[in-house]
């Protein structure tokens, strides 16, 4: 049995990452899940959050803005709405997005505005948390 996993993260815009890794921990909609070599085939929805993977001694962090994860034949494929490796996250932009979202939540006049602002806040928070962990 293979002792490594191939991890690929793609968004509609680009391929974010393509690496051979030891373990992947991803933010599933029903909770965080880990994938080691030999994992059974699996498909699930992702929530906005932080994906981590270990490569040798190093733990890497990626912000994932929701999407789908497929596990098949020692390959984890992440189809994300948007995703950024921790080192690629623009902190100033994420902080500005958080402040904007907080303002919009406070000023929202209907449920839709509120839900949109809350989703934007979740994305900004996930980016800030991920960047802090780099």
Give the nearest residue (CB) to ligand ATP: 90
Q: Which is nearer to ligand ATP, 52 or 127 (CB)?
A: 127
Main-chain dihedrals φ then ψ at residue 67, nearest 5 degrees = 145, -140
Dihedral, CA of residue 76, residue 78, residue 79 and residue 84, to nearest 10:
-150
Shortest Cβ 88–ligand ATP spacing (Å): 6
Q: Which is nearer to ligand ATP, 21 or 63 (CB)?
A: 63
Which residues are at the interface with ligand ATP (CB under 6 A)?
A: 13, 65, 82, 84, 88-90, 93-94, 97, 120, 123, 127
Report how far apart, in Å, the C-alpha atoms of 28 and of each of 72, 95, 100 are. 16, 25, 27
- The rounded radius of gyration (Å) of the Cα atoms in the chain is 16
Q: What angle in degrees, to the nearest 10, is found between the helix axes of 91-107 and 111-132?
A: 150
Shortest Cβ 103–ligand ATP spacing (Å): 12
Q: Which is nearer to ligand ATP, 27 or 39 (CB)?
A: 27
Shortest Cβ 19–ligand ATP spacing (Å): 18
Report how far apart, in Å, the C-alpha atoms of 129 and of each of 39, 42, 100 are. 28, 27, 17
Q: Which is nearer to ligand ATP, 59 or 120 (CB)?
A: 120
Shortest Cβ 96–ligand ATP spacing (Å): 7
């Amino acid at each position: 049995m293979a002792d490594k996993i191939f991890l690929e993260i793609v968004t509609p815009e680009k391929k974010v990452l393509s690496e051979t890794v030891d373990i992947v921990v991803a933010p599933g909609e029903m909770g965080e899940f880990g994938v080691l070599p030999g994992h059974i085939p699996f498909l699930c929805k992702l929530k906005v959050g932080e994906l981590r993977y270990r490569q040798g001694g190093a733990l890497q962090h990626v912000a994932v803005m929701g999407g789908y994860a497929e596990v098949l034949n020692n390959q984890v494929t992440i189809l994300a709405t948007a995703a950024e490796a921790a080192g690629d996250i623009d902190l100033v932009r994420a902080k500005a997005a958080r402040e904007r979202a907080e303002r919009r939540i406070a000023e929202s006049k209907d449920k839709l505005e509120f839900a949109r602002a809350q989703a934007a806040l979740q994305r900004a928070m996930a980016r800030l948390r991920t960047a802090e962990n780099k």
